[in-house]
Structure 1
Amino acid sequence: MRSEAETTPAAPAAHSAAGAAGAPLLETRDLKVHFPLRRPKGLRRSITWVKAVDGVDLAADPGETLGIVGESGCGKSTLGSAVLGLRPEARGEVRYRSKDRVIDAARLDGEDEATYRREVRMIFQDPFASLNPRLTLMEIVGEPLRVLHGVTGSELEDRVTEILRRVGLRREHLNRYPHAFSGGQRQRVSIARALAPEPRLVVADEAVSALDVSVRSQILNLVQDLQDEMDLTYLFISHDLSVVEHLCNRVAVMYLGRVVEQAPTSELYAQPRHPYTEALISAVPVPDPRARGSRERIRLNGELPDPADPPGGCPFHTRCRYATERCATEVPELREVAPGRLSACHYSEDLALVGAS
């Protein structure tokens, strides 16, 4: 494990050729999560729908980290909860390849549900709200082992001690309560709880956004180390593109419930193929003070449109500086515009968009 003093996460290696060539560990097909929104009485339609996730196709290969990015309200967290099987409103498919069978997480029951709960876990955003203040670390981290694996007694204590050691905590912390720990330590507890049942896939929803900058990089380093040690696959949800750049092998960019671009991380940052991605990258701070001001900051017009009443045509056209009449009437398909690169823009091949370089 890296030293606590190390502060810069290493850039991720490209995911293995075997993982890329074989079947994905997780795959979503036309995944939708629509919420009913009641209108005031007297209007012609009493119900409309908020399309929080609207037809998302994704695939995560074994051992890779797939980043999901976009501004607040784009549907990232709803997508993550749907992948975890926590959205009964979800439609479409969430196909997870366990060791001996394929499980559809949108229709969990019986043995499939038990297997999925063991093998797919979540790290929550808020380390303060996600831990029960009435339970000790032994109870918090031990609960999934007891419930999902039936571990009890001295074996339970030994396994909890071992996973706490892996995340940088000590045995003497077993009988302490969450209030005794800092935010970074609490997030280590959350990571220990998620990894205790030895999962294969972890959904991390803004896992470092609530932490101080000085602690954030330590947690990111820890997450990378544990991925190598435990052969984990991550679905990493974040609004912070600088974090995603260091941690993720591939990135899917979401806007108004849809994926508008997918690409390997290095290629996406070097040359985005969608105007929304270009705007997001332009907002990433430049680390070198001497280079600040050398890159144009693209400021989007207006606010994110209402997902209950999205604009016609391309969802992004109301804020896009490259929009044409075609964009206002015709919905662009998410298509391959280069090997391994997908974009939902009519003019992806024509626009000379600027990346981080």
Structure 2
Amino acid sequence: MPTDAADTAAAPANPLLEVSDLRVHFRLPRAARRRARRAPDLPEEAAGIPRGDTVKAVDGVDLRIAHGETLGLVGESGCGKTTLGSAVMGVRPEARGHVRYRTAQGRVIDAAAPAPEDVAVYRREVRMVFQDPYASLNPRMTLLQIVGEPLRVLLGVTGSELEDRVAAILARVGLRPDHLRRYPHAFSGGERQRVGIARALVPGPRLVVADEAVSALDVSVRSQILNLLQDLQAEMGLTYLFVSHDLSVVEHVCDRVAVMYLGRVVELSPTAALFARPLHPYTEALISAVPVPDPRLRRRRPVGPPEAAGARRDRRERIRLRGDLPDPSAPPPGCPFHTRCRHATDRCAAEVPPLREIAPGRLAACHYAEELSLAGAP
């Protein structure tokens, strides 16, 4: 569960990972740019093509993650959270900015431009758990080969030592060590995801990027994997960057939450505070879409600050955002969310709101964050 320490500060002083002004921009193919120039006067919907030349998947993101915490990264599809996760892994050559990682020895590695001797260290200490437990495992390799590959490539472990270490990590994630020579098709989705977790943890990492690690699993299996990830974090001292679109999962496992919209972070808060009272209208809309298990509480949302004395509760429909996510190659001027925000004013259409501290440990990119009384989770 989220720790009390995470509620005290949004930016740890000595972070394990520090992302500074990270930008990942993709140049559109020449054919798409040529079609856009041939139809400059048509609206985007009529032309059926992007109006810009560059897709700004991640556009100036700053984050800090402390050792031992879990930072959730949420947003709807297309907001850039997966691209941000892959940039943290150092596999995006288009990335600009800084991704500074502090090793166990105190040395700082910039994953955006690592020195040749630092690449193997970073690959060993920063690992990823992928979303799809089926596509992420080679069907022609056994569990011994799949899980043992990082040991062989990164640490040079071979022979009986490799087999022993693979058997030990499989047992730790809940799989039988005598399944070493079986292939992925012999396992269920949840078991395959346990194999993926074992592959990520076998070289002894300190930071794990979990990219939608439970979204492809059944609900009952999902809870088992989440509990496993938390147990492993406590046992091995892991730090998680937890990428997800499911806020109910994020609420359960994360210490702090960063909300992304159109390539930018629009809110960064401790988890409990964010769900009690969001500061950005986009966060409020995401929270309103979280399913409520109790049928008697559905369509009920708090009106006004939840900490206010006598704050009444009233029936309220789910907040439905108007329109679609804007084209990331031609973002709207001003606040990127103003085209879908019910609180938007002329100022929002003209002026970009900075990500600023609204309350201790809470940041939001909204001109009216202090004035709005947004609804949290019921």
TM-score, normalization by structure 2: 0.89
Q: 2:131 aligns with which of 105, 117, 125?
A: 125
> What secondary structure sits across from 1:107 in the alignment?
coil
Which residue in the other structure is 1:5 paired with? none
| Whole-Å separation in 2 of the counterparts to 1:317 and 1:53 | 18
Which residue in the other structure is 2:71 paired with? 66
Which residue in the other structure is 2:307 paired with? none
1:58-97 map, 5 Å: 58-97=63-102
> What secondary structure sits across from 1:40 in the alignment?
helix
- The answer as to whether partners of 1:15 and 1:64 remain within 8 angstroms in 2 is no
1:212-291 map, 5 Å: 212-291=218-297
Structure 1 runs (4+) greater than 2 angstroms displaced: 11-22, 41-47
Residues 42 and 247 (structure 1), Cα distance of their counterparts in 2 relative to 1, 3 Å cut:
closer
> What secondary structure sits across from 2:4 in the alignment?
coil
Which residue in the other structure is 1:302 paired with? 323
1:10-89 map, 5 Å: 11-15=1-5, 22-37=13-28, 38=30, 39-40=33-34, 43=37, 48-89=53-94
- The answer as to whether partners of 1:15 and 1:63 remain within 8 angstroms in 2 is no
1:12 deviates by: 2.5
**CA RMSD between the two structures:** 1.7
1:127 deviates by: 0.1
Which residue in the other structure is 1:7 paired with? none
Task: Give the partner amino acid of 1:344.
Answer: A
Task: Give the partner amino acid of 1:197.
Answer: P
- The answer as to whether partners of 2:19 and 2:64 remain within 8 angstroms in 1 is yes
For residues 212-233 of structure 1, give each alpha carbon's deviation from its aligned partner in whole angstroms, at most 9, with x where no partner exists: 1110000000000000010000
Give structure 2 stretches of 5+ with no counterpart: 41-50, 302-315
- Between Structure 1 and Structure 2, how many residues are aligned? 347
| Whole-Å separation in 2 of the counterparts to 1:175 and 1:13 | 40
1:324 deviates by: 0.3
Q: 1:179 aligns with which of 176, 185, 191?
A: 185
1:76-225 map, 5 Å: 76-100=81-105, 101-225=107-231
> What secondary structure sits across from 1:216 in the alignment?
helix
1:20 deviates by: 7.1
| Whole-Å separation in 1 of the counterparts to 2:355 and 2:97 | 17
| Whole-Å separation in 1 of the counterparts to 2:35 and 2:292 | 51
> What secondary structure sits across from 1:86 in the alignment?
coil
> What secondary structure sits across from 1:156 in the alignment?
helix
Task: Give the partner amino acid of 1:214.
Answer: S
- The answer as to whether partners of 2:10 and 2:362 remain within 8 angstroms in 1 is no
- The answer as to whether partners of 1:19 and 1:63 remain within 8 angstroms in 2 is no
Identity %: 74
| Whole-Å separation in 1 of the counterparts to 2:131 and 2:125 | 20
For residues 4-56 of structure 1, give each alpha carbon's deviation from its aligned partner in whole angstroms, at most 9, with x where no partner exists: xxxxxxx3223478997540000100000000013126828997110000000
Task: Give the partner amino acid of 1:87.
Answer: R
Residues 42 and 340 (structure 1), Cα distance of their counterparts in 2 relative to 1, 3 Å cut:
closer
| Whole-Å separation in 2 of the counterparts to 1:162 and 1:179 | 21
For residues 48-80 of structure 1, give each alpha carbon's deviation from its aligned partner in whole angstroms, at most 9, with x where no partner exists: 110000000000000000000000000000000
- The answer as to whether partners of 1:19 and 1:61 remain within 8 angstroms in 2 is no
Q: 2:334 aligns with which of 301, 313, 318?
A: 313
| Whole-Å separation in 1 of the counterparts to 2:9 and 2:174 | 32
1:84 deviates by: 0.4
- The answer as to whether partners of 2:10 and 2:269 remain within 8 angstroms in 1 is no
| Whole-Å separation in 2 of the counterparts to 1:22 and 1:230 | 22
> What secondary structure sits across from 1:226 in the alignment?
helix
TM-score, normalization by structure 1: 0.94
| Whole-Å separation in 1 of the counterparts to 2:342 and 2:9 | 40
Residues 107 and 317 (structure 1), Cα distance of their counterparts in 2 relative to 1, 3 Å cut:
same
1:110 deviates by: 1.7
| Whole-Å separation in 2 of the counterparts to 1:276 and 1:355 | 12
Which residue in the other structure is 1:324 paired with? 345
- The answer as to whether partners of 1:300 and 1:319 remain within 8 angstroms in 2 is yes
| Whole-Å separation in 2 of the counterparts to 1:141 and 1:69 | 29
